[in-house]
Structure 1
């Protein structure tokens, strides 16, 4: 007899997991990491504590899942960036990065990490190693692929990725951590992406 869960049970488990993550995100943003207990999360999600612990044995594991999800880029957003066309590929990546950084809750998530870091350094590790770095590495891989495709001359893909993402995030995202009313117009954001792409193609394009 098979011990594998049925499609129905897998779907129920996924729905409960999504409810837990949604409830935890709301509570973390409202009360902070330290001010949110697993019991409160279970109650808000409408699940038992046993169900919550089965999905996420610790609060840190749950926060890791929230961070990982917040940095994921859906493939359905469009075609993969073209490694053979540096300007087009970087433009696609740049606009996707903007959408990522401006997702609801992204700034608040960073604020939680910064505020709680002295007591919970594992939050910084989660944000860096399971959020920021996997995304950064995907951009670095694209630049290495562009070099292989002959559309760019990139000796250090990590440095080039740092430069490109930094030009965008320095305008779009980092001011939001200190300025509650920072909301540049879409035209200004589009210009920031376009200028970053122009700078990169001037430096690395062939």
Structure 2
């Protein structure tokens, strides 16, 4: 490894450390209560060093949200050879593992509490997180329609259906009842049911796809699959 590539790798690792620390701070203090000083202290950096990576709280927040979005969208942006049903199932769990994290739930609760007084916070959260996630889902389902695997007239509505069906109810429960966050078994129940409904509505070969979905869900339950 050359000195240049080592420096580049160190910068990547430090950037990720900053983003992880920023999530913790934003989740504890909310957007309006977070300062660059607090983030710098949380990750063990000086404030000037932090500013070498992110020139404002706004750009740091956007980068943090984009990083969370990218983790959830990996399977859609790099589809597997296993096919559409595998990708949908993997995305559902990547999404669940992302938005149901305690830090992400806490951040969402704080954002909800701040938007009345600071509507720009809601706009920033929506633009850098949910809007970009939806755009990625639209791109994937559109590609599957072009490949003859899905059939629908409105890609945005199909994407919204997929998104809402897999996790809307348990996430809403978790947001407003922190003492009753659904466990893995309950999430699996919602994900499986949501994907069943989606495939019945939009798949061009629902019988085959539902059979594959059941196999994937069973393998995950028994620990023999992802």
Shorter-normalised TM range: 0.7 to 0.9
Tell me by how many angstroms 1:203 deviates.
Answer: 1.6
**Which of these residues, 99, 105, 113, is aligned with residue 97 of structure 2?**
99
8 Å Cα contact 2:76/2:140 also seen in 1: no
8 Å Cα contact 1:147/1:153 also seen in 2: yes
- Matched with 1:153 is 151
Report the Cα distance in structure 2 between the residues aligned to 1:97 and 1:22, rounded to whole angstroms. Answer: 17
Q: Could you list the runs of 5+ residues in structure 1 that have no partner in the other structure?
A: none
Mapping 1:55-204, distance limit 5 Å:
55-73=53-71, 80-81=78-79, 87-204=85-202
- Number of residue equivalences: 202
Tell me by how many angstroms 1:22 deviates.
Answer: 3.1
- Of Structure 1 and Structure 2, which has the larger fraction of its residues in helix? 2
SS in 2 for 1:187: helix
**Which of these residues, 8, 11, 16, is aligned with residue 9 of structure 2?**
11
- Matched with 2:50 is 52
SS in 2 for 1:181: helix
Report the Cα distance in structure 1 between the residues aligned to 2:74 and 2:163, rounded to whole angstroms. Answer: 22
Tell me by how many angstroms 1:11 deviates.
Answer: 3.3
Tell me by how many angstroms 1:110 deviates.
Answer: 0.8
Moved more, 85-94 or 25-34: 85-94
Report the Cα distance in structure 2 between the residues aligned to 1:160 and 1:73, rounded to whole angstroms. Answer: 22
8 Å Cα contact 1:144/1:154 also seen in 2: no
Q: TM-score, normalised by structure 2?
A: 0.75
Q: Give deviations 1:25-70, integer Å, cap 9, x for gaps.
A: 2222223333332223223322222211221111111111221122
Moved more, 120-129 or 46-55: 120-129
8 Å Cα contact 2:76/2:87 also seen in 1: no
Report the Cα distance in structure 2 between the residues aligned to 1:118 and 1:27, rounded to whole angstroms. Answer: 21
The structure with higher relative contact order (CA 8 Å, sep 6+) is 1
8 Å Cα contact 1:81/1:88 also seen in 2: no
Report the Cα distance in structure 2 between the residues aligned to 1:80 and 1:7, rounded to whole angstroms. Answer: 25
Q: Could you list the runs of 5+ residues in structure 2 that have no partner in the other structure?
A: 205-226
Moved more, 144-153 or 91-100: 91-100
Moved more, 26-35 or 132-141: 26-35
